[in-house]
Structure 1
Amino acid sequence: MSDAPLPYAKAASTAYDAALEVIASVEPRIAEATRQELADQRASLKLIASENYASPAVLLTMGTWFSDKYAEGTVGHRFYAACQNVDTVEALAAEHARELFGAPYAYAQPHSGIDANLVAFWSILAHRIEAPALAEKGMKNVNELTDEDWEGLRREMGDQRLLGMSLDAGGHLTHGFRPNISGKMFHQQQYGTDPETGLLDYDAVAAKAREFKPLVLVAGYSAYPRRVNFAKMREIADEVGATLMVDMAHFAGLVAGKVFTGDEDPVPHAHVVTTTTHKSLRGPRGGLVLAQEEFASSVDRGCPMVLGGPLSHVMAAKAVALAEARQDGFRTYAQAIADNAKSLADGLMSRGAKLVTDGTDNHLVLLDVSGFGLTGRQAETALLEAGVVTNRNSVPADPNGAWYTSGIRLGTPALTTRGFGGTEFDEVADMIVDVLSQTQPGTTKAGGPSKASYVTADGVADRTHARIDELLDKHPLYPGLDLA
């Protein structure tokens, strides 16, 4: 998108007006909340790294009668009748994903990123543990096993190990975090980053892998502001006999847009790659699994292994979004995401802010707000009051834990979609520092310092809102889309 009117703005306006009128005839409060959400998004600076703005074509694709279909199974092999049109939708989504990422195989059914990761984990277990056990007995599926053999296989699968990036170093909770299902499925350990630089230390990861000997080595991140050398991660995995799984949910748009190539592109190096289709890909909320051919048959069993009926209307929207990402303009957009992140980081640091790893070379910035005397929760809420939407996030060795945190995570995909460039992101940095430098912790009822409440100097929030309004007027969201 840009600040030029959408080429189909009139048609989209008509479509949304009609849709909201129909919705209001049944539950007007939902229609009003929908209108208000668009108004709120138009009026704020969205800097949440995991959010973006999908095109009207993607959004409208989800509101169709494909929502009414059950289609458990795979293309051409469904457990329900009359799925020929769903077959077309799923095949197109997979085709676009394969072509966009250069992957041998793509699976478009996961409902979310965690579902994609669960499909990947269980597919790896099936491929590495279950399939060899069945082959040894001359069997094709687990239903042929005796109860005793099945219990033995279950124990063996449940005794496997996973090594992933720790949450406070920038990993995701689905990479072996103990409270998450991934931390309960596997015996897990985690690798971190260098305590001085905040950067990945590949020698340390290799040493940890040699000691722990995981079945699965997980790479990828949700709050690490640097690129990863996936060729090195594959070398580590191969050395210890592990399967390399990469979760590229956050940076898939930078892979699709060829900002990350060579050793920084996970697809040629990983056995299995997972992603969401929103975030930097700018599609609907959903997931994908990409894999090498040897894992294809295991991943194809995502339903019934992990998933139920696929969301056919969302798979259709995935196909539209992936088709959009294959257009030439997407590469320009992806490069702008990375350039804008650097502008934001430089703008913050030039004003005295402390960043984890002292910068970024991907789509996100991790700001350590302890230098302002604040917790992440205080910073997040103070910025939200001023019209800047962020999310609090842990920093390495965070003394405030995962709830209050000491950081906020900032991402550039959404505002880049609105047409922001380096000059605008420098101004955004100025606003952020202005708000945080004039915010102080509040006090608890007992009179001590609070980790949640805060006090911002009078007039700061209003002044910031006025600056935001001036910026956003130049870069409207869904330009030309007018609702009655």
Structure 2
Amino acid sequence: MSVTTAAHATAAQAAGLDALRRQDPEIADVILAEEARQASSLQLIAAENFTSPAVLAALGSPLANKYAEGYPGARHHGGCELVDVAERIACERAAALFGAEHANVQPHSGSSAVLAAYAALLRPGDTVLAMGLTHGGHLTHGSPANFSGRWFDFVGYGVDGESGLIDYGQVRALAREHHPRAIVCGSISYPRHPDYAAFREIADEAGAYLIADAAHPIGLVAGGAAPNPVPYADVVCATTHKVLRGPRGGMILCGAELAERIDRAVFPFTQGGAQMHTVAAKAVAFAEAGAPAFTAYAHQVVANARVLAAGLLTEGLTVTTGGTDTHLITADPAPLGVDGQAARSRLAAAGLVLDTCALPWGDARGIRLGTAAVTTQGMREAEMARIAVLFGVVLREERDAREVLAEVRELTRTYPPYPG
């Protein structure tokens, strides 16, 4: 994106905020305060990133006004000629980016994408094998509070107690015992690459569909920094935010033989009208992810995560699997005398924003963090080493959180999310 285009997008956003201030100052204040919060603290939540001004411009465009139930050329509303173009572009770009025969870009979220995949391939009561929730599985992988746990019979596989790595022997044994209709590979807190070929072999042996929930690594896949699940999985579900750096939303990739089933599972079975402003923003993000600069970015995300993980180990935290292959790190702060919930609170007070997560041992919660957003800001290995030291200082309570916050704000001034 050219500097001129970025400037025009920023100017348009500023004009929109001026109008909002006049009409609804209360909501304008919330938006401005959130903008300030993001710009004055480090966003280390593994599922978050900063979109480009171009993506934001598409999200705030008049496409938000258009109702477009159905698919290009077969809508249930008139006046869809132009949004049809946007959706076709988004689908073509997604399919080309990931080497898929078919892409559906309408899912409103990653969970919506997974719901549609289940709807296309399963019937209520079917058995599904997925990563157990305490080992890193997502809510859509069988939580009793989620549609998945209520509609299907989930069996959970886990990680090895010593290495923290997926126990593929256990996966195979469970598949032989339970004969699942589908196997799900993917998690929200597993920092290593899944062995998609091993999952494919186990699924074929069990006569099961293989669903890859690639919400977290799909951006790394786009940048060539993680293995691509598309050649192995029957269906790949993903988000378009996180490392991919697009708008909040989901997508589904599959082969041509499942295209119609997937499309009908998205609409009309699980969703109504597509959010066309979001679809257009996804198209923008796919184009950005296909550029050489994004490849460099994705590899820097991983390099940063490895340095940050090594730094946390040096500071005394227990890092699961001993490190990471991705943007994501999970760690146990217990050796520093604090649990995950307390660690998150202490770190937040110092401007270090992250999540807690389940750990694959005991009932304690750890912390989950990622390097996608800070890498978007331009930070590299030296900054990651510095951040790791700040973690240790805060968790050991060696300095007042306000002093550390001042240091964090120095970093964000040097590396702002959206340079002026």
Do they superpose with TM above 0.5? yes
TM-score (normalised: structure 1): 0.84
Write the distance in 1 (CA, Å) between the matches of 2:215 and 2:236: 9
* Cα offset, 1:9, TM superposition: 4.6
Task: Give the one of 80, 89, 95 matched to 1:98.
Answer: 95
Q: Does 1:74 align with 2:74?
A: no
Aligned pairs for 1:195-210 within 5 A = 195-210=161-176
Give the AA of the match of 1:281: L
Write the distance in 2 (CA, Å) between the matches of 1:305 and 1:8: 39
Write the distance in 1 (CA, Å) between the matches of 2:311 and 2:125: 48
**1:415 matched residue in structure 2:** 374
Q: Does 1:435 align with 2:399?
A: no
**2:30 matched residue in structure 1:** 33
Is the Cα contact below 8 Å between 1:124 and 1:295 reproduced in 2? no
**2:263 matched residue in structure 1:** 300
Is the Cα contact below 8 Å between 2:351 and 2:408 reproduced in 1? yes
Give the AA of the match of 2:418: Y
Write the distance in 2 (CA, Å) between the matches of 1:16 and 1:326: 25
* Cα offset, 1:473, TM superposition: 2.2
* 2:225 partner SS: coil
Q: Residues 275-329 of structure 1, C-alpha deviation per residue, up to 9 Å, x if partnerless?
A: 0000000000000000011110101111111111110110010001111111111
* Cα offset, 1:229, TM superposition: 0.8
Task: Give the one of 140, 164, 170 matched to 2:136.
Answer: 170
* 2:368 partner SS: strand
Is the Cα contact below 8 Å between 2:317 and 2:334 reproduced in 1? no
Q: 1:385 to 1:107 in 2, by over 3 A?
A: same
Is the Cα contact below 8 Å between 1:347 and 1:429 reproduced in 2? yes
* 2:212 partner SS: strand
Q: Structure 2: state its 5+ residue gaps.
A: none
* Cα offset, 1:12, TM superposition: 3.2
Q: Residues 34-70 of structure 1, C-alpha deviation per residue, up to 9 Å, x if partnerless?
A: 1111111110011000000000110111112211221
* 2:7 partner SS: helix
Q: 1:13 to 1:90 in 2, by over 3 A?
A: closer
Task: Give the one of 199, 224, 245 matched to 1:258.
Answer: 224
* Cα offset, 1:196, TM superposition: 1.3
Task: Give the one of 272, 282, 300 matched to 2:235.
Answer: 272
Write the distance in 2 (CA, Å) between the matches of 1:305 and 1:9: 38
Aligned pairs for 1:279-294 within 5 A = 279-294=242-257
Write the distance in 2 (CA, Å) between the matches of 1:159 and 1:169: 23
**1:468 matched residue in structure 2:** 408
Is the Cα contact below 8 Å between 1:6 and 1:479 reproduced in 2? no
Write the distance in 1 (CA, Å) between the matches of 2:72 and 2:362: 46
* 2:243 partner SS: helix
* 1:224 partner SS: coil
* 1:218 partner SS: strand
Write the distance in 1 (CA, Å) between the matches of 2:393 and 2:278: 41
**1:226 matched residue in structure 2:** 192
Is the Cα contact below 8 Å between 1:111 and 1:287 reproduced in 2? yes
* Cα offset, 1:82, TM superposition: 1.5
Write the distance in 2 (CA, Å) between the matches of 1:89 and 1:124: 28
**2:361 matched residue in structure 1:** 397
Q: Does 1:244 align with 2:203?
A: no
Is the Cα contact below 8 Å between 1:163 and 1:176 reproduced in 2? no
Write the distance in 1 (CA, Å) between the matches of 2:384 and 2:142: 34
Write the distance in 2 (CA, Å) between the matches of 1:10 and 1:259: 30
Q: Percent identity?
A: 44
Q: Residues 320-365 of structure 1, C-alpha deviation per residue, up to 9 Å, x if partnerless?
A: 1111111111100000011100000111112222111111111111
Q: 1:477 to 1:159 in 2, by over 3 A?
A: closer
**1:347 matched residue in structure 2:** 311
Write the distance in 1 (CA, Å) between the matches of 2:327 and 2:7: 32
Write the distance in 2 (CA, Å) between the matches of 1:291 and 1:275: 12
Is the Cα contact below 8 Å between 2:349 and 2:402 reproduced in 1? no
Is the Cα contact below 8 Å between 2:109 and 2:250 reproduced in 1? yes
Is the Cα contact below 8 Å between 1:49 and 1:363 reproduced in 2? yes
Write the distance in 2 (CA, Å) between the matches of 1:194 and 1:279: 27
Write the distance in 2 (CA, Å) between the matches of 1:256 and 1:177: 29
Write the distance in 2 (CA, Å) between the matches of 1:252 and 1:74: 24
Is the Cα contact below 8 Å between 1:76 and 1:87 reproduced in 2? yes
Q: Residues 385-433 of structure 1, C-alpha deviation per residue, up to 9 Å, x if partnerless?
A: 1110011111113323xxxx2x010100000000111110010000011
* 1:329 partner SS: helix
* Cα offset, 1:31, TM superposition: 1.2
**1:154 matched residue in structure 2:** none
Aligned pairs for 1:5-44 within 5 A = 8-44=5-41
Write the distance in 2 (CA, Å) between the matches of 1:9 and 1:77: 34
Write the distance in 1 (CA, Å) between the matches of 2:59 and 2:391: 35
Q: Does 1:214 align with 2:180?
A: yes
Is the Cα contact below 8 Å between 2:225 and 2:299 reproduced in 1? yes
Task: Give the one of 329, 335, 341 matched to 2:293.
Answer: 329
**1:141 matched residue in structure 2:** none
Higher CA-based Rg: 1
* 2:119 partner SS: helix
Write the distance in 2 (CA, Å) between the matches of 1:245 and 1:197: 25
Give the AA of the match of 1:100: L
Q: 1:18 to 1:73 in 2, by over 3 A?
A: same
Q: Structure 1: state its 5+ residue gaps.
A: 126-156, 439-456
Give the AA of the match of 1:97: A
Give the AA of the match of 2:411: L
Is the Cα contact below 8 Å between 2:316 and 2:335 reproduced in 1? no
Write the distance in 2 (CA, Å) between the matches of 1:86 and 1:121: 28
TM-score (normalised: structure 2): 0.97
**1:454 matched residue in structure 2:** none
Count residues in correspondence. Answer: 419
- Superposed CA RMSD in Å reads 1.4
* Cα offset, 1:7, TM superposition: 5.1
* Cα offset, 1:472, TM superposition: 2.0
